[in-house]
Amino acid sequence: MSTSKIVCFILLKNGKVLVEKRKVYKEADPGAVTIPGGHVKDGETLLDACKREFSEEFGLSCRDFQFVCTLLYTASNSEHMELNYFFCNGWKGMPKAAEADKLMWLHHTELEKLSFDEDRKAIAELKSLNAELF
């Protein structure tokens, strides 16, 4: 069975993390509250996928993507995923929910509202690498 590569974006603002509520008709994990992200296309580098997906997901660009960690996950539709988490350092504007049902800001103390342990682990890893961000 193949594994899909995914890039996931951690955005922080005033001690809060940007999360999305997935649309209920999505094949994988419908209605879940997650860190936003998207699939890496064949032949695409992780950085190129970050730039493309960040623009598609939010209608924004990021000045600098900083790698956080990679975690494995199996979605509700049995898709095996390699989740590559990146911290976006330097973005301007208000993110728009281009592909999600809605975007929300969760305080870093409210992460139990995230649907998946992998997202919580990635945020904890970012916090261990850059505690001053929180």
Question: Tens digit of pLDDT for each residue in 93-108?
Answer: 889 888 889 999 999 8
Task: Report the C-alpha gap between 73 and 100 in whole angstroms.
Answer: 20
Selection from 49, 16, 113, 133 nearest residue 125 by Cα = 133
Q: For the whole prediction, is pTM greater than 0.85?
A: yes
Selection from 5, 2, 6 nearest residue 78 by Cα = 2
pLDDT at 20 over 90: yes
Selection from 77, 87, 78 nearest residue 133 by Cα = 87
Distance of CA 77 to the CA centre of its chain: 19
119-129 core/surface letters (b: 16 or more CB in 10 A; e: else): beebbebbeee
Question: Tens digit of pLDDT for each residue in 23-59?
Answer: 998 888 999 999 999 999 999 999 999 999 999 989 8
Task: Report the C-alpha gap between 51 and 61 in whole angstroms.
Answer: 7
Fold that domain 3-133 belongs to in CATH: Nucleoside Triphosphate Pyrophosphohydrolase (3.90.79)
Q: Which amino acid is at 51?
A: K
Instruction: Say if residues 35 and 12 touch (Cβ distance below 8 Å).
Output: no
